[in-house]
Structure 1
Amino acid sequence: MSISRREFAKSALAAALWSCGVGVSLPALAADGRAIVYNAPAEWAGWGAMLQLIKKETGISVPVDNKNSGQSVSQILAEQKNPVADACYLGVSFAINAKNQGLVENYKGEGWNRVPDGLKDPDGAWVSIHAGTIGLMVNVEALDGLPVPKSWNDLLDPKYEGLVGFLDPSSAFVGYACAMAVNQAMGGSLDNFQPALDYFKKLRDNSPIVPKQTAYARCLSGEIPILFDYDFAAYRAKHVDGAPIEFVIPAEGTIQVPYVMCLVKNAPHMENGKAVIDFVLSEKGQKHWADNFLRPVVGELEKIAPEAAAKFLPASEYARAGSIDYGRMAEVQQAFGEAYLLAMKS
C-alpha cells in the first residue's frame, strides 16, 4: 500500500519521537484527513466550491454543514466536553460571544498574520475571512410586474404582502445583521433597538416569511421574491446561477459585515482545523471568495478578481453602506434577540 510523502513524514516523525521516549499525540501528527467545520452550507458564500478546493489543495475533506451561526455555537457548547467540530464559520458577533464563553482556541497562524488589525481578534480567537454588504435580493420575475423596491420602507406597502423574507434575527447571524442594518437606517443605535422593533412589527402585518436557515434557493425559485441578504448572494444568483435577481442597497442605508472563522477548543482534528483556516486566508482562498463576489480581507477585490468586481453595483451605491461597532454588536445580541421575540408576540 502506498502513502503520500506527507503521511510518511508524519509517521516517521511519530516513530522517531516514540523511540526517544517522547510521548506524542497522534491525532495532531497524523489526523484522519478530515475536518468538521460547522456552518459551511454549500449554497452560501461559495462554500460548496470552497470545500472542493480545500480537498484538492490540502487533502483535507470537509463535509457540508447546514447549521447557522446560532445553531453552531449552541452545538459547540453542548459538545464542550466531547468536541465534534474542529472549526466554525460565524457572524462576527457570534464569534465574539463564543470567545467569551470559552468555546474557541486562540490561533495565530499564517492566515491570521495576513489579515489587517481590526478584522481579527488580537488574541487569535477569531479572524475575518471575507465581508459582505446587506441589502435586498430581489427575484424580479417573481414580483409579477410589481416595481423593484428601493428602500426598507417600500416593503411596508401592502402590495408586497407575502413577498418579503428575512432570516430569524434571534437565531441566524444574517438575520441579526439585517436587523441591525434596518435599525441603523431607521435612526437607531446599538443602545436603542426601538426603530428596528417598530419596523419589524409593521412588516409583520405584510405576512413576511421568516426561515431560520439559508433561504438562497427559495429566493431563486421565487418562493421568497424579496429576501434580506448579502450582495454576494445576489450577485452569485444573477451571474452564476442565471436567475432573474437584482441587488438593492436600500435608500435609507445599510451596513457592511465581516464573517469570521474560529478554531474550536479541544478540536479532535486540531491541525486540520488550523490548515483549513490558513487555506481560506491564503492567496488561492481569498481569490476564491473574491470570484464569488465576497470582499476579501487580504488584498483588494478589484485587483484579485476584476471580472467579479465589475459586476458589483457602482461605488456611489455602496456609499450608503456604513460600518458598525462589532464588539458592541456582540454585547447586545442576546438583548436584541429577546426584545425581538417579545415584540413579535405583542
Structure 2
Amino acid sequence: MRNVMLGLATAGALVASLPAAQAADAICYNCPPQWADWASQLDAIKDNLGYELPHDNKNSGQTLSQLLAEQGNPVADIAYYGVTFGIKAKAEGVTAAYKPAGFEEIPEGLKDPEGHWFTTHFGTLGLFVNLDALGDAPVPQCWADLTKPEYDGMVGYLDPSSAFVGYAGAVAVNRAMGGDLDNFDPAIAYFQELAENDPIVPKQTSYARVVSGEIPILFDYDFNAYRAKYTEDGNFEFVLPCEGSVVVPYVMSLVNNGPNKERGKEILDFIMSDAGQQIWTNAFLKPARPIELPAEISEKFLPDSEYARATPVDYAKMEQVQKGFGERYLNEVR
C-alpha cells in the first residue's frame, strides 16, 4: 500500500523468489529495513526469538500479487501492507485468522474481527508546517484557515486524483466539513475555495519541498512532520486540524498455509508486544496498541487529547469510492 495507498513507497522490484529463503528461519513479505525502522524490528526479532528474516523490499501491491501467485505453495509466513491490501488479501483467501498477543487492545476499525489483518502502527493526516516559511502568517490551526488570504500560495496538497495521501487528505477534509463517503460535496466545495489561494498540487511526496520552504504548509502525515522537526535544520510542526482528521493504518497478516506457521505466530506476537510496538516510534509512527511510552518518546508526539480528533474510517468503502472522487476532482476542481 505504501506507493498505492499512502504515496510513500519507493519503487521495488518484484521478488519472485528469495535467495536467502532456504537459510531463513521465516519469511516476511514487505519488511524493508529502510521503512518504518523495520531494520531495528528485524534485529529485535533475531535477538529475542532467534529467528533470521531476510530483508524484503516489495511494496504492498507487489506483496499481494506474490501471495496470490504462490497461493498453491506459499513461501511467506507473514506479510505487511497497507490496510486496503490487507482487506483484499483476506478476500482472496491468502491470509489466515490469527489474533496475536494484545489483539483486544487494538481499537475497533483497525483490525479484522477474525484476525486476518490487524494494525501494527498508523499515521495521521494533518498539516506539515515549515514555520520559518510562513513569514508573518500565523500557524494555521484548522482546515478552514487555509482558505484565508494570508495563506495565498503557501498551501500544498498532493493531487487527490493520483496520490493516495492526497485522497486521504480529501477524505479528512470532507468529513471535517460535514461530508461522508457517500457525499463528497463538502470536499469539492472546499478545494474549489482553496483554489482561490493558488495552492501547489504535486503528484509525488513532497517532504523535501516543505523542508526547503518551497511549500510552507502541506497536507501530510504526522510522521513526516515529526521527522523534519527532530532530524532537520529549521523549525517544523505538525498541526492536527481543529475540525478533526483520519488515521491511516499499516497492517500485518499470517499467511494462509505458510511453511512456518508457528514461527509466524511468534513473530507477530513479538511485533505486537510492548517492545515490538515501541520500535515503530523510532520512525515517528504511532503504535496500534495504547502502550505506555517512555517520556523521551511520547513527548515528541502531540498529546493524546489532540489525537482524539483523528479516527478510523471504513477503509474498504474508502477504496471503493476513490475512483469516483478522483473523477469529480478532475472535472470540478482542477
TM over 0.5: yes
Alignment match, 1:81: 69
Candidates 166, 179, 185, aligned match of 2:176? 185
Within a 5 Å distance, the mapping from 1:330-341 to structure 2 comes to 330-341=316-327
Name the aligned partner's letter for residue 209 of structure 1: V
Candidates 47, 54, 57, aligned match of 1:61? 54
Change (3 A) 1:116 1:253: closer
Alignment match, 2:227: 236
Tell me, yes or no, if the aligned pair for 2:31 and 2:56 is still in contact at 8 Å.
no
Alignment match, 1:309: 298
Q: Unaligned 5+ residue runs, structure 1?
A: 1-26
Q: 1-side partners of 2:171 and 2:195: how far apart?
A: 17
Residue 248 of structure 1 deviates from its aligned partner by 0.8
Cα root mean square deviation, aligned:
3.8
Within a 5 Å distance, the mapping from 1:119-158 to structure 2 comes to 119-157=110-148
Counterpart check, 1:259 vs 2:250: yes
Change (3 A) 1:194 1:105: same
Q: 2-side partners of 1:39 and 1:193: how far apart?
A: 35
Change (3 A) 1:277 1:315: closer
Name the aligned partner's letter for residue 167 of structure 2: Y
Larger fraction in helix: 1
Tell me, yes or no, if the aligned pair for 1:209 and 1:224 is still in contact at 8 Å.
no
Residue 188 of structure 1 deviates from its aligned partner by 0.5
Alignment match, 1:22: none
Counterpart check, 1:211 vs 2:207: no
Tell me, yes or no, if the aligned pair for 2:246 and 2:311 is still in contact at 8 Å.
yes
Identity of aligned residues (%): 44
Name the aligned partner's letter for residue 62 of structure 1: H
Q: C-alpha deviations, 1:98-120, integer Å up to 9, x for none?
A: 433x1641241644746546242
Count of aligned positions: 306
Tell me, yes or no, if the aligned pair for 2:160 and 2:329 is still in contact at 8 Å.
no
Q: 2-side partners of 1:218 and 1:266: how far apart?
A: 45
Counterpart check, 1:294 vs 2:285: yes
Within a 5 Å distance, the mapping from 1:16-27 to structure 2 comes to none
Change (3 A) 1:88 1:310: same
Q: 2-side partners of 1:182 and 1:222: how far apart?
A: 24
Q: C-alpha deviations, 1:170-226, integer Å up to 9, x for none?
A: 5655433322211111111122121112223444552423334x4434433434432
Q: Which is greater in Rg?
A: 1
Change (3 A) 1:36 1:116: closer
DSSP-derived class of the 1:261 partner: strand
Change (3 A) 1:99 1:266: same
Alignment match, 2:6: none
TM-score when normalising by structure 2: 0.73
Tell me, yes or no, if the aligned pair for 2:26 and 2:260 is still in contact at 8 Å.
yes
Alignment match, 2:98: 108
Q: 2-side partners of 1:211 and 1:53: how far apart?
A: 36
Alignment match, 2:218: 227
Tell me, yes or no, if the aligned pair for 1:197 and 1:340 is still in contact at 8 Å.
no
Residue 337 of structure 1 deviates from its aligned partner by 2.9
TM-score when normalising by structure 1: 0.71
Q: C-alpha deviations, 1:250-291, integer Å up to 9, x for none?
A: 122223443322345676887776665444223321111245
Tell me, yes or no, if the aligned pair for 2:157 and 2:202 is still in contact at 8 Å.
yes
